[in-house]
A = this chain, B = another copy of it.
Amino acid sequence: MDESKKGWVVTVSLKLPTLQDNTADTDRLLTAVKTVLKTDTVGIDLKLVRQLPALIRKSKFRVVCILFKDQNRWILIDIKDATDTGSIAGLAVDLGTTRVVLRLVDLINGQPLADIAFDNPQISIGPDILARIHFTNEPDGLKTLNKLIIQGLNHKVDELCRSCNVRPEDVYLLSLAGNTAMTHLFMGIDPHWIIREPYIPVINRPGLYRAQELGIKINPFARALIFPNVGSYFGGDLIAGILYSGLNNQDQTAVLVDVGTNAEVVVGNKNWLIACAGAAGPALEGGVTRMGMMAGPGVIDKVTIDPDTLEFKLHTIEDEPPIGICGSGLIDLAAQLFIRGMVDFRGRINPLVCKDRLVEIDGLRHLVVVPEISSASGARLSISQADLDSLIRSKAAMYAILETITSRVGVALREIKTFYLAGTFGSFINPESAISIGMIPDLPIERYQSLGNSSLCGAAMALRGEEYTEKIDEIRDRITYLELNVSSEFMNRFSAAKFLPHTDLSLFPSVVIKK
């Protein structure tokens, strides 16, 4: 009849009450739990107290407790008969503006059970977050947006649970990471001030709530941990990313680069963290180039151009006929176009090299990537001069951010031994291509580590125990946020980086261009 703690789950055997030991049921249970957790206070819901006397007697005084620790205070979420064989699960959510990913996790061993993803249903209101924030000014606008995401989540939680033979009632903990605006919409909080000077969120540290209060249909006692943000432009998704990377625990200074709608960069080590964000990504996400889209079957994700024949070799996801290109494919394409001389150092399409791949549509130069005959839809897939210009601004912003932030802390980019690549597609980037266009510094490839969906993985880490959740506020509080939009240093670096790979070619010795 041993006591044990595994993850967020504690099993205890209570001593039977006697005339000499007539402590109340609740106090008897909480004292046993406190001993295991080595703590003074454990909170408990009234509804749980009401169920307790029958439950502990039915379970012969041996029970399993699901707990959570919120700001140094333990909370007893639910209690089960120790012989109950039902699952005890947690749910991690990466709440993206475009895509939402859910992961079901076993709360005892912390292992993932299954993932599921879906497009953010708020896209029906507006594809980008700005449009959605404006929509909250409409009557019931906030309510509508909130309902869309909550209903979408509930629907997918059901589907995810079914796929693992887990009941939604078996899910006791929700861990959610998203950008600041999405977090507000999820919580039903007005994001009006986020996009208006001086850019004030309603809340930076949402913390812990009842999942029920948020409208999430899992166990009625379940709690929801919402990752904190640093401000309007540095959200919980990034805090989750830092947690997952472990950058905050390391001796050596490392860099985390998250490329999604924004480019966000964190530099730091176990002693300090400095971060900034900039609008580096729009050109790289689906929707900006005409043929751009999220990764999916038929989407071009890798491009090579034969140095001699200039023939395009395109790889599509699941080898389906091409329907569009995703961010990592676009960077590959731009890098190949540049090193094969098809675009020049200013990013201009070179008619002499491109020849019949060059077409003019509505008075704008386009380079044909997939001709009518090869595309899935029968429509030509092309990239325009405007797309390339936009991409160059994005990559220049990213590089300028990296230069500015490292120079502020007195570290040279070349001294950084580890670059974590994260984000919607950041983690799928081919670093060689990103170096070729001067998006990231020209360093040995092995210094770049892909994290995958670091927001989801960070959220899932919180489901493993207090040793992880305790880091969350610590990370948030240690971050110094740099405001770049107002920095002339950043603007100068940005201008210098608006060339392929850079105005200063000595920074990119490995990039060899076909003359």
B200 touches A26 (CB 8 A): no
Residue of chain B at shortest CB distance from A226: B46
B201/A25 in contact, CB under 8 A: yes
CB atoms of A213 and B46 under 8 A apart:
yes
Query: Which residues of chain A in 1-41 are interfacial with respect to chain B, using CB atoms and an 8 Å cutoff?
Result: 17-19, 21-27, 41
Q: Which of B72, B187, B200 contacts A17 (CB 8 A)?
A: B200
- Choice from B52, B204, B486 contacting A23 with Cβ under 8 Å: B204
Q: Report whether B197 and A46 are in contact in the complex, using a CB–CB cutoff of 8 Å.
A: no
Query: Which stretch of A76-84, A90-98, A188-196, A253-261 is in the interface?
Result: A188-196
Nearest-Cβ distance from residue A174 to partner chain B, whole angstroms: 14
Query: Quick check: is A118 within 8 A (CB to CB) of the other chain?
Result: no
Asked if B17 contacts A202 (CB within 8 A), the reply is no
A445 contacts the other chain (CB 8 A): no
Does A231 lie within 8 Å of B22, measured CB to CB? yes
Within 8 Å by CB of A24, from B41, B192, B201, B214, lies B201
CA distance A71 to B201 in the complex (A): 30
Chain B residues, CB < 8 A from A58? none
Cross-chain contact A41 with B204 (CB below 8 angstroms)? no
Q: Is the CB of B41 within 8 A of A71?
A: yes
Given A27-B205, A203-B27, do A46 and B198 touch, yes or no (CB 8 Å)? Answer: no
Interface size for A (C-beta < 8 A) is 47
| Interface residue from B23, B190, B198, B204 paired with A18 (Cβ < 8 Å) | B198
Q: Of residues A18, A27, A486, which shows the largest number of chain B Cβ atoms within 10 Å of its Cβ?
A: A27
Instruction: Output the nearest chain B residue to A70 by Cβ-Cβ distance.
Output: B43
CB of A22 within 8 A of CB of B202, answer no
Residues on B with beta carbons closer than 8 Å to the beta carbon of A192: 53
Kindly state whether residue A130 has any CB partner on chain B within 8 Å: no
B41 touches A203 (CB 8 A): no
- Measured CA separation A49–B188 after assembly (Å): 10
* Distance A200 CA – B22 CA, assembled complex (angstroms): 5
Q: Judging by beta carbons under 8 Å apart, are B71 and A202 in contact?
A: no
Task: Give the residue of B24, B193, B214 whose beta carbon is less than 8 angstroms from that of A53.
Answer: B193
Q: Check if A214 sits within 8 Å of B46, measured CB to CB.
A: yes
Q: 8 smallest A-B Cβ distances: which pairs?
A: A24-B204, A26-B203, A24-B201, A27-B204, A19-B198, A17-B200, A25-B202, A22-B198
Chain A to chain B contacts (Cβ below 8 Å), 19 pairs: A17-B200, A18-B198, A22-B232, A23-B200, A24-B202, A25-B200, A25-B201, A26-B205, A27-B204, A41-B71, A41-B72, A46-B187, A46-B188, A46-B209, A49-B189, A49-B203, A50-B190, A53-B190, A71-B73
